[in-house]
Amino acid sequence: MKKIDKSNLKALLIGSQFLGSGGGGKVHLIKQIIDNYFDNEFSVDLIGLDELSIDEYGAAVGVVGSPEVIEEYMPTGKEGKSLLKKLSASTGNKIRTLFTVEGAGINLIYPLVVAYTTGLPIIDGDTMGRAFPEMQMTTFQFNNIKITPVIFQDVENNYHVYNNEDASYIDLNIRQKIAQINGLAFFTGYQALHKVLKSILIPNTYTFAINIGEAFIKSNTYDELLKNLKIVTKNSLYGTSIELVRGQINNINDMDNANISSYVIGDYNIYFHNENLMIFKNKKIIGSVPDLITIIDLERLKPINVTDIHVGQNVAIIGTPAPLQLRTPTALSVIGPKSFGFKSIYESLEKIYFQYYYHY
Amino acid sequence: MVTEKLKRFLRIYDEFNYKTILLFNREKILYTHGIPVEFRNFKFYYEQYENCVIRDFPSDARVSFHHEIAVLWIKEKFDENYGLHLKLLNLFLENTRLQKRENIYFQMIQEIGDVMEMGVLFLDEHNKKIYENKVSKHIELEKLINEKQISINSTNTGIDEVSKKHLTYKIFRKAFTSTNGNFFYAKKIENSQPIIDKTEIRKSVVENTIIGQNSKLIEVLDTIDKIATIDSTVLIRGESGVGKEQFAKLIHDKSHRANQPFVAVNCASIPENLLESELFGYEKGSFTGALKSGKIGKFEAANNGTLFLDEIGDMSLNLQAKILRVLQEKVIEKVGGIKPIKVDVRIISATHQNLEDMIKKKEFRKDLFYRLNVIPIYIPPLRERTDDIENIIHYYIKKHCIINNKPFKIPSKEVINILKRYRWPGNIRELMNIVEYIVSTEEKEIITTQTLPREILNQTIDEKREIYINTKRNKYSNKSRKPNKQELIHLLDEFGYSSENKKQLAEFLGISLATLYRWLKKYDIT
C-alpha cells in the first residue's frame, strides 16, 4: 500500500492543479492546513482499486461551493468525521475507505485531511478524472448509480440531507441553500460497495497527480517539463500531453456569454467557466472538454488557475486527452461541450492531432 | 477593534509565510507585516470597502473585508508580483472616481504604479492625464499613444505594438466604465513570449506510439537514449510483432541523422533475387525487366540517414557478404555497375531468429553478426509487460474508434483482466488487430467478454484448466476445502459472472455447476 505524506504532498498539490484544467480551487490553502496544523507524522494510506476487498463500503468526502473562502472556515477533518458518522448511521453500513469525487484541485487534497483525522485509507481513484463544477458530472451518473444519501454541513454548522434526489437537483439545491452563507459546504455521500467502486472509479488518480507534480518539480526549463509531462501522461489512461500554443495573453473577456469567459493568445481563443473548456484557433476547435486544457505560467513553470491569469502573462496551453471513461456517448451527454452551453460536439485531441498520436 | 476571528486569520497568514500583510480600518493601520515603506503612508477611507468584490485575485494575494476591517495579504514579495499589480490597479480603478483624487483607491493606484517596472498611465474621460509613473514618463508613453493614434474610445480593451528608438513596446489599454477613463500600461516587447504556432505538432512523433513503463521497456528506452547519438550498428532482437521498426525509428529520431532519411527494408518480404538490386540499386539495362533509367537502391536512398534491415536472418549468405563489405568499406556497387559509390549510412538491423544457432549451422556469417551486433537491444514480449497492457489497450481503442468514426467505448474490468492474462504470441501487432476487431464488432458503450475473439477466451479457459490440473496441491482440489465467501468472490472476479464463466469456475473447482450455485446462494452472492 502506498502512502501520501509530507514527502509527496508538494508534488500532489502541483499535479492536482494541473488536472484542475484551470479550475479546482486554491489547493495551496489546504496544503497550508496540513503543513501548519498536522505534524510531520502526517500520513494517509493510499489503497489501489485492485487492493480493495469486495463487500465493504467506501464513501466520498469533499467541498462544494466557493473554495476561495475556505481559509475563513479552515477545515480540520472533524467536520468530515462527523458527516461520515451521520452517513454511516443513516445507511447502517460501516465505511472502510474514503475517496474523492473530483480528481483535481482542492477536492483532491481535502479528503486527505478527513482521512488523516478518521484513520481511514484513501482510494487511489475518483469519479471525474479531472475538475468539473457540478455534482452530477461523475462516473456515478454515467453508470446510473445514485449518489444519495448525501449530507452537507454548511459553514454555520447546519446539516442538509438528501436521501433520494437526483444528483443535478442536489447540486442546484445545495448551492441555493448555501449562497447566502458564503457559498461553502463540506459533504459526504456517494457511498458504494467496493465491488462497484472497482468498476466505476477512474483509477490511479493520486498516483497520477503525484507523478505529474514530480515532472514539474524535477524540470528546470520548460522544454524539460514538456518532455517529462509527456512521459507521465503517455503512460496513463489519459494520453500524451500536447502543447497547443505558447504565447502572451493579449486579452481577457469576462462573461462573453452567460457564464462563459475567455482569453486570447494571438489567433487562439480559450473559453472557460470554472475550468478551461474549449480552445479555438482561427475559430476552429483545437481542444475541447472533457480533454484537459491546462495553463502553465512560463515564468514560474507552474500550472495555474484561470483566476490567476492576467494580460501580458507568458503562458503555455497544454492539452491532455481525457480517459475513455469520460468519452462514451453517455459520459459526453453529461460533461461534453454541450453540457456547458457550447453548440459544438466533442473533438478529441487524438482526432485533431491524429498524426502526432498514432503515426510514425 | 480587532476581533478574535481576525486575530486567528492573521496568525494563520503569518504562519503561511505571507510576506506582506496589511490590516486596516477606517481610522488607522492596525497591523502590518512586510509592507513596503511607501505603503505605510496610506490614508484610508472606509466608505467604499464594502463595494469591493474580489474574486479574481491571484492565488497568492487577496483582500478580505470583515465588517469594518480590511485585510490585504500578499504571498509573494510585493514588488515581484507583476500580475498582482495589474489586478490591484484594475480593482482600484473600478472603484474610484478619478476626479476625486483624495479617494483611497486613487492613492493606492499611485502607490502601486510607482513601484511597477512598466509604464502606467491613466487618462480621464477627456483624455486628460490623471496619473503616470516614472517609467511612463521615461518612455513618453502619452506621446507614443498620441503619435501612433492609438484608438482609445472604440472598445473596452485594446492592444497595440509601437516602436521607438529601436525598442518595441506592447501597449495594453483598458477602458473603465465607472470612470469613462482609460488605463494604459506598456511593456517592453523583448520580455514577451512570441506565439509559438505548433505546426510541428502535426509532425509524427514515434515516441508517442511506444506506450509502457514496465521496467524491461524502460531499460530499452534508457539504452536508446544513451546510444542514439553514436553511429554504431544496432541489432534489435525480439519476437515477431513487438514493434522492432518503431524502436529503430526512435533511435533514428534521437540521433544526429534525424533530419535525414530513415529507410526500412524487410529482407524476408523481398524475393532473394530481387533483394540485392533493392538494396544496392542497378545500372540501366542490367537485367531483363530493369528500368531503362536504372534505379538507386535503399543504401543510397538512406545516405546520411539510417537504413533499417528487418528480418536480417532471412538474408542469403551471398548477400550477407555484400552487406559486410559495405560495413567495412562504406561503399556500395550497383548491380551491373563497376563504380563504387560512397555511402554514409547507420545500419540498424533486427531479427526474431536465433542468430547464434544460425551461425553454428553456418546459415549466418559470424563476422557479419559481430559487425551488426555492436549494440544489442532486446525488446521484451508483451506477455512480460502485463502492467502496460491496460494503457496500451486504451490507446488503441481510442485510435480505432477515431479511424472507424465510432463513438468511444470502454473495456470492462473483466475484459482487461482476461487480456492481461492472455499470452499474446503475436505481441503488439496481435493486440492492435484484436482491438480493431473488438471496436468494429462491439455495438455497446462497454466492451464485454462476449466480444472477445474465441481464441483468447479458449486460451484463458485452457490455462485455467491447466493450472487446475497441474496444481494437485491446489487448496481447492481437496473437496473438503471449500473456498470461503471472500475467496469465492475473488474467483468470480477472475472468471467472470456470466453463466458460461460460472460453468468454467465450477469445472476449475472440480464441483458441479449446481453445487457452485448452491454455494453462491448460501453466501448471498449475486
pLDDT tens figures, B269-316 = 888 888 988 899 888 776 666 666 778 899 999 999 999 999 999 999
| Residue from B170, B198, B401 to probe the interface with A (highest A Cβ count within 10 Å) | B198
Instruction: Give the pairing type, strands A150-154 and A184-193.
Output: antiparallel
Write the residue in A74, A265, A360 that is nearest to B209 by C-beta: A360
Alpha carbon of residue B361 to chain centroid: 47
Q: B412 to chain A: which residues are within 8 Å by CB?
A: 199
Confidence of residue B72 (pLDDT cuts 50, 70, 90): low
Q: A330 to chain B: which residues are within 8 Å by CB?
A: 445
Q: B392 with B213: CB under 8 angstroms? A: no
Contact B208 A244 (CB under 8 A): no
Q: A312 to chain B: which residues are within 8 Å by CB?
A: 82, 86, 170, 172, 185, 187, 192
pLDDT at position B274 is: 87
The alpha-carbon gap from B221 to the nearest alpha carbon of chain A, in Å, equals 11
Instruction: Give the pairing type, strands B234-237 and B346-351.
Output: parallel
Write the residue in A28, A253, A313 that is nearest to B59 by C-beta: A28
Query: Which residue in A has a C-alpha nearest to residue B492's C-alpha?
Result: A54
Query: Which residue in B has a C-alpha nearest to residue A307's C-alpha?
Result: B56
pLDDT, tens digit, 9 for 90 and up, residues B76-85: 444 444 555 5
As a whole number of angstroms, the distance between CA B500 and CA A304 comes to 51
As a whole number of angstroms, the distance between CA B199 and CA B12 comes to 48
- What grid cell was written down for A281? 484557433
What sign for the dihedral angle of Cα A332, A337, A342, A346?
Answer: negative
- What grid cell was written down for B318? 551471398
Q: B410 to chain A: which residues are within 8 Å by CB?
A: 324-325, 328
As a whole number of angstroms, the distance between CA B263 and CA B261 comes to 6
- What grid cell was written down for A352? 485533431
Contact B391 A312 (CB under 8 A): no
Alpha carbon of residue B389 to chain centroid: 18
Measure Cα distances from B405 to A335, A356, B4, B237, B377 in Å. 20, 18, 63, 36, 37
Q: Which of A78, A41, A36, A23 is nearest to A275 (CA)?
A: A23
Burial class (CB in 10 A: 0-12, 13-18, 19+), A100: buried
Q: B439 to chain A: which residues are within 8 Å by CB?
A: none
Q: B172 to chain A: which residues are within 8 Å by CB?
A: 311-312
| Residue from B14, B54, B202, B410 to probe the interface with A (highest A Cβ count within 10 Å) | B410
pLDDT at position B82 is: 52
| Residue from A211, A256, A311 to probe the interface with B (highest B Cβ count within 10 Å) | A311
Peptide bond into A67 cis (omega under 30): no
The alpha-carbon gap from A93 to the nearest alpha carbon of chain B, in Å, equals 17
Contact B193 A330 (CB under 8 A): no
The alpha-carbon gap from A328 to the nearest alpha carbon of chain B, in Å, equals 5
Peptide bond into B261 cis (omega under 30): no
Q: A230 with B208: CB under 8 angstroms? A: yes
Q: A267 to chain B: which residues are within 8 Å by CB?
A: 195
Contact A357 B208 (CB under 8 A): yes
Query: Which residue in A has a C-alpha nearest to residue B66's C-alpha?
Result: A72
Contact A307 B207 (CB under 8 A): no
As a whole number of angstroms, the distance between CA B118 and CA B139 comes to 10
As a whole number of angstroms, the distance between CA A249 and CA B292 comes to 60
pLDDT at position B338 is: 83
Contact B195 A248 (CB under 8 A): yes
Q: A208 to chain B: which residues are within 8 Å by CB?
A: none
pLDDT at position A258 is: 64
Burial class (CB in 10 A: 0-12, 13-18, 19+), B160: middle
Alpha carbon of residue B395 to chain centroid: 13
Instruction: Give the pairing type, strands B29-33 and B20-24.
Output: antiparallel
The alpha-carbon gap from A45 to the nearest alpha carbon of chain B, in Å, equals 22
DSSP letter, residue B182: E
Q: Which of A46, A45, A42, A47 is nearest to A30 (CA)?
A: A42
Q: A248 to chain B: which residues are within 8 Å by CB?
A: 170, 192-193, 195
Q: A68 to chain B: which residues are within 8 Å by CB?
A: 55
What average pLDDT score do residues B394-409 get? 96
- State ipTM: 0.95
The alpha-carbon gap from B32 to the nearest alpha carbon of chain A, in Å, equals 19
User: pLDDT by residue for chain A (360 residues), tens digit each?
Assistant: 799 998 999 899 999 999 999 988 777 777 777 776 677 788 999 999 999 988 899 999 999 987 666 766 778 899 999 999 999 999 999 999 999 999 999 999 999 999 999 999 999 999 999 999 999 999 999 999 999 999 999 988 999 999 999 999 999 999 989 887 777 899 999 999 999 999 999 999 999 999 999 999 999 999 999 999 999 999 999 999 999 999 988 888 876 566 788 999 988 999 998 899 999 998 899 999 999 999 999 988 999 988 888 877 889 999 999 999 999 999 999 999 999 989 899 999 999 999 889 986
- What grid cell was written down for A15? 499535479
Q: A236 to chain B: which residues are within 8 Å by CB?
A: 391
How many CB atoms are closer than 10 A to CB B521? Answer: 10
pLDDT, tens digit, 9 for 90 and up, residues B94-127: 555 444 554 555 655 676 677 666 788 888 777 7
Contact B490 A348 (CB under 8 A): no
Q: Angle A230-A236-A240 (CA atoms, 0-180°, nearest 5)?
A: 30
Q: B406 to chain A: which residues are within 8 Å by CB?
A: none
| Residue from A310, A317, A326 to probe the interface with B (highest B Cβ count within 10 Å) | A310
Contact A250 B159 (CB under 8 A): yes
Q: B203 to chain A: which residues are within 8 Å by CB?
A: 355-356
Q: B299 with B346: CB under 8 angstroms? A: no
- What grid cell was written down for A331? 459520459
Q: B170 with B189: CB under 8 angstroms? A: yes
pLDDT, tens digit, 9 for 90 and up, residues B40-69: 333 232 223 333 333 333 334 444 444 444
- Under 8 Å CB pairs connecting chains A and B tally to 158
What average pLDDT score do residues B229-255 get? 94
Write the residue in A246, A329, A357 that is nearest to B196 by C-beta: A246
Residue B32 in this model has a pLDDT that exceeds 60: no
How many CB atoms are closer than 10 A to CB B287? Answer: 11
Q: B185 to chain A: which residues are within 8 Å by CB?
A: 312
Q: Which of A58, A66, A180, A198 is nearest to A121 (CA)?
A: A58
The alpha-carbon gap from A252 to the nearest alpha carbon of chain B, in Å, equals 9
Write the residue in B170, B192, B204 that is nearest to A355 by C-beta: B204
pLDDT, tens digit, 9 for 90 and up, residues B412-424: 999 999 999 899 9
- What grid cell was written down for B302? 538512406
The alpha-carbon gap from B276 to the nearest alpha carbon of chain A, in Å, equals 27
| B157 DSSP β-pair partners | B174
- What grid cell was written down for A259? 457564464
Residue of B194 and B59 predicted with greater confidence: B194
The C-alpha cell 453517455 sits at A330
pLDDT at position B190 is: 52
- What grid cell was written down for A265? 493568445
Contact A250 B485 (CB under 8 A): no
Contact B410 A234 (CB under 8 A): no
Phi-psi sector, A69: left (phi>0), alpha (psi -120 to 50), beta: alpha
Interior/surface letters B440-477, b for 16+ CB within 10 angstroms, e for the rest: eebeebebebebbeeebbebbbeebeeebeeeeeeebe
Instruction: Give the pairing type, strands B262-266 and B306-310.
Output: parallel
How many CB atoms are closer than 10 A to CB A222? Answer: 17
| B159 DSSP β-pair partners | B172
Q: Which of B39, B77, B35, B74 is nearest to B58 (CA)?
A: B74
Measure Cα distances from A1 to A40, A44, A48, A52, B25 in Å. 19, 10, 7, 11, 52
SS3 A190: strand
The per-residue pLDDT of chain B, averaged, comes to 76
Q: Which of B151, B353, B122, B341 is nearest to B236 (CA)?
A: B353
Contact A357 B209 (CB under 8 A): yes
| Residue from B91, B112, B208 to probe the interface with A (highest A Cβ count within 10 Å) | B208
Concatenated DSSP letters for B268-279? Answer: TTS-HHHHHHHH
pLDDT at position B3 is: 46
What average pLDDT score do residues B436-461 get? 88
Contact A328 B409 (CB under 8 A): yes
Residue B188 in this model has a pLDDT that exceeds 70: no
Q: A313 to chain B: which residues are within 8 Å by CB?
A: 83
pLDDT at position A276 is: 96
Query: Which residue in B has a C-alpha nearest to residue A17's C-alpha?
Result: B59
Q: A358 to chain B: which residues are within 8 Å by CB?
A: 208-209, 399
SS3 A55: coil
Burial class (CB in 10 A: 0-12, 13-18, 19+), B346: buried
| B72 DSSP β-pair partners | B22, B63
pTM (predicted TM-score): 0.76
Confidence of residue B428 (pLDDT cuts 50, 70, 90): very high
Q: How big is chain B, counted in residues?
A: 526
Q: Which amino acid is at B368?
A: L
Alpha-carbon radius of gyration of chain A:
19
As a whole number of angstroms, the distance between CA B430 and CA A201 comes to 29
As a whole number of angstroms, the distance between CA B474 and CA A126 comes to 37
pLDDT at position B39 is: 37
DSSP letter, residue B199: G
| Residue from A235, A237, A253 to probe the interface with B (highest B Cβ count within 10 Å) | A235
- What grid cell was written down for B377? 537491444
What average pLDDT score do residues B127-136 get? 82
Query: Which residue in B has a C-alpha nearest to residue A50's C-alpha?
Result: B413
